[in-house]
Amino acid sequence: MARALVDIRILQREYLLAISRALTAELDLHDLLRVILKASVEFVSGRAGLIALAEPGTRRLRVAAVYGIPPDLVDHFAPLLQELPRQDGEGEEEDAAQELGRRLREVMGKANLGLTQAIRLPLVSRGEVIGLIYVFQSGNYYFVEDARSLLRSFAEQAAIAVRNAQLYQQINNEKQRLDAILEQSADGVMILDPSLEIQVFNKALSHMTGWWAEEAIGQHHDDVIQWRSLKTKADLNDAIADGWPLPGAAHIYVEGDLQRPKQANHLEADGERVSLGITYAPLVDENGRMINIIANVRDLTRYREEEALQKTFISVISHELKTPVSIIKGYAGTLRRQDANWSPEVVRDSLLVIEEEADNLTDLIDNLLETSRLQAGTFHLEISEEVMLPWLADKVVRKFANQAEKHTFWTDFPSDFMPVTGDERRLTQVLNNLVSNAIKYSPDGGLIKVWGEVHPQHVTVSVSDEGIGIPDHEKPRIFQKFSRLDNALSRKTEGTGLGLYLTKAIIEAHNGRIWFSNNSDGPGTTFTFSLPRDDERQQD
């Protein structure tokens, strides 16, 4: 009998040692809890088991793992999960022990699994109870007298393993969160090792450089970041050659034009130039040795384009302002000459020119003010009850027909073209811009058509010309501010590049939209805008 008891003890120790090794090797919390619970039940020849863990920052318990308990019966064990005990289980106060016994009997009755006994083991880590293990027995089987003590050392090891797994899970969750932040950042992020080999390369940087992340990672920095031209005096290699990082100069900034790759296997690789600004920051250890370089990358291409557009705008505006002012001043100076006796016809024609140029100057200033309001967010409409677009179109066409001798004009609106609700002055401005552009970009003359159509939910107005059309590469920026076609004709043609930008803003402020296409049946372009019908607006 004594020999058999010794053999059992040896087997139990060996079993405990094997389980302890398994616990130290397992870091996934869900899998770890299953190992702990299965081992706990089998260790004392139990029937079923349950592990409950404390919710972070509270004493409330939740079921984290079950063994031998059907899923639909788990809720019956709720009385065991009311709160954590305030001690590790040894020497429980009599009232607490009686309450636990009552709860166990209640659970065993509800679950109807034939469970007759239970052992409760607290999981204690650093003096804190972080959870409970319940092991149940059934029928006429009983736990051996020292079952609790046999399981106690195992529970201590299990508690350490659970705490480690929880910490690992927290660290892993935080890493996943940081990885997601890096990957979804609108700025490019690149992490280098001390030898300048790329270790991290996020999605935004892929779009900027044309390199897929899986292609860039493992490459040397200089193989991916190839400057076509630099705007700063030095790059990363120059800084490192000068001893970077130095105390008090932790960051370096490099700006220039990057040459994107032309190889077909790269992301959107078209060899185009992109302007980047890169801030390099060293990551050092406690000994001051650099272990990584963190590079934050900004795409400055749009900023550079805006900068170039504004320079062009200043040049164009200077010319556009100077022209009418010079004409007005010239005619006014001529009229006030005291050595000349002008006929009434000359005076009338001169005053007409002055008036027209003053109107041009007013239109230019209005466009600048409207652009300023759009950028400041103070743009608003002065809504009229009814705007008759056919009448506005005829009015605009008559005005331009008197000025454009090379062109012929044609308007056509159906009789059922209903009024729209909108800002009459600004819709007139839209038609003025579209017809004016049609004239400018068909310098050899031709037919300019303005027509309307009625649709179930909206009305449309179209303006077409027989001019030069719009090249494909210009189409994406045709509605941008300060944008003008880049050709010899546009360089000879007056304009600020604000007309279509304002036109689009006005139409969209009316809940409409505007688009264009080159004519399919001949040269020229057609611009079309749509506005909601009054009856549709009222239904909204």
Query: Same structural domain for residues 195 and 60?
Result: no
Question: Does some domain include residue 221?
Answer: yes
Of 181-190, 197-206, 222-231, the least confident: 181-190
Q: How far is CA 404 from CA 188, 283, 349, in A?
A: 52, 68, 18
Please tell me whether residues 193 and 153 are part of one structural domain.
no
Question: Which of 91, 89, 88, 120 minimizes the C-alpha distance to 104?
Answer: 120
Name which of 9-18, 66-75, 275-284, 295-304 the model is least confident about: 9-18
Q: Is 512:496 a contact under the CB 8 Å cutoff? A: no
Q: Is residue 182 part of a domain?
A: no
Lowest mean pLDDT, pick from 2-6, 109-113, 329-333: 2-6
Q: Where are the alpha helices (DSSP H) in 210-300?
A: 213-216, 221-224, 236-241
What type of residue is 294? I
Based on the fold, state whether residues 67 and 165 are members of the same structural domain: yes
**More confident of the two residues 15 and 238:** 238
Measure the CA–CA gap between 49 and 113, rounded to whole angstroms. 12
| Residues 346, 224 within the same domain | no
Domain boundary pick from 299, 315, 335? 299
| Residue 530 or residue 386, greater confidence | 530
Domain that holds residue 443: 384-539
Q: Does the structure show a pLDDT above 80 at 531?
A: yes
| Strands in 231-330 per DSSP E | 252-259, 273-284, 290-299
Domain co-membership, 151 together with 217: no
Q: Give me the count of residues in the chain.
A: 540
Q: What CATH code is carried by the domain that includes residue 216?
A: 3.30.450.20
Here the tokens at position 51 are 């592990």
- The residue ranges of DSSP E strands in 423-540, in sequence order, are 446-454, 458-464, 513-518, 525-532
pLDDT score of 93 more than 80: no
Q: Which long-range contacts (CB under 8 A, 24 or more apart) does 270-274 make?
A: 270/210, 273/228, 274/208, 274/209, 274/299, 274/301
Mean of the pLDDT values across residues 197-202? 92
- Is residue 233 one of the residues assigned to a domain? yes
Q: Kindly state whether residue 230 falls inside one of the protein's structural domains.
A: yes
Residue 386: its H or E element: strand 384-387
Least confident of 19-33, 52-66, 492-506: 19-33
**Secondary structure element (H or E) that encloses residue 230, with its range:** strand 227-230
Question: Which comes out higher in pLDDT, residue 77 or 320?
Answer: 77
CB 148 within 8 A of CB 134: no
**pLDDT tens profile 496-528:** 677 888 899 899 999 999 999 998 888 889 999
Residue 483, pLDDT > 80, answer no
pLDDT at 450: 96
* Two structure tokens written together for 77: 């064990």
Q: Determine, yes or no, domain membership for 352.
A: yes
Q: Rounded mean pLDDT of 222-248? A: 84
Q: Is the pLDDT of residue 378 over 70?
A: yes
Report the pLDDT averaged over residues 468-487. Answer: 75
295 and 311 part of one domain:
no
Report pLDDT for 197. Answer: 95
Adjacent-strand bridge partners of 407: 446
Of the residues 376, 400, 435, the one at which a domain ends: 376
Tokens 């996934």: give the residue: 28
Looking at residue 368, which CATH number applies to its domain?
1.10.287.130
- Kindly state whether residues 69 and 12 are assigned to the same domain: yes
Whichever domain contains 439, its CATH number is 3.30.565.10
Inform me whether the pLDDT recorded for 469 exceeds 80: yes
Burial of 467 (0-12, 13-18, 19+ CB in 10 A): buried
Residues 280 and 421 in one domain: no
What confidence score (pLDDT) does residue 78 get? 85
Number of domains in the chain: 4
C-alpha torsion 221→224→228→233, nearest 10: -20
> What b-and-e string marks burial along 13-33, b requiring 16 or more CB atoms within 10 Å of the CB?
eeebeebbeebeebbebeebb
Same-domain status, 339 and 453: no
Tell whether 235 and 103 lie within a shared domain. no
What per-residue confidence (pLDDT) applies to 11? Answer: 55
Q: What percent of the chain is predicted at pLDDT more than 70? A: 80
| Alpha-carbon separation of residue 324 from 219, 357, 363, 384, 481 (angstroms) | 59, 5, 11, 32, 22
Q: What is the pLDDT of residue 159?
A: 78
Distance, CA of 292 to CA of 217 (rounded, Å)? 14
Q: First-to-last CA distance in the chain? A: 91
Please report, for the domain that includes residue 123, its CATH number.
3.30.450.40
Q: Which of 47-56, 132-141, 303-312, 474-483 has the highest mean pLDDT?
A: 47-56
Q: What is the rounded average pLDDT for all residues in the chain? A: 80
- pLDDT surpasses 50 at 184: yes
Rounded distance between C-alpha atoms, residue 217 and residue 223, angstroms: 11
Q: What is the pLDDT of residue 263?
A: 59
pLDDT tens across 241-293, in order?
888 887 666 788 999 998 887 654 555 544 467 889 999 999 888 877 888 99
Torsion of CA 215, 218, 220, 224, to 10 degrees: 20
294 and 310 co-located in one domain: no
pLDDT band at 489 (very low <50, low <70, confident <90, very high): very low
Helix (H, G, I), strand (E, B) or coil at 276: strand
Residue 390 lies inside a defined structural domain of this protein: yes
Q: For 332-368, how does the pLDDT look when each residue is reduced to its tens digit (9 = 90+)?
A: 888 888 877 888 888 888 888 888 888 878 877 777 7
Given pLDDT bands bounded at 50, 70 and 90, which one contains residue 3? very low
In a domain, 72, yes or no: yes
Q: What number of helices (H) and strands (E) belong to the chain?
A: 15, 17
The DSSP letter of residue 197 is B
What pLDDT is recorded for position 87? 52
- Residue 413 confidence class, pLDDT cut points 50, 70, 90: very high
Domain boundary among 275, 299, 323: 299
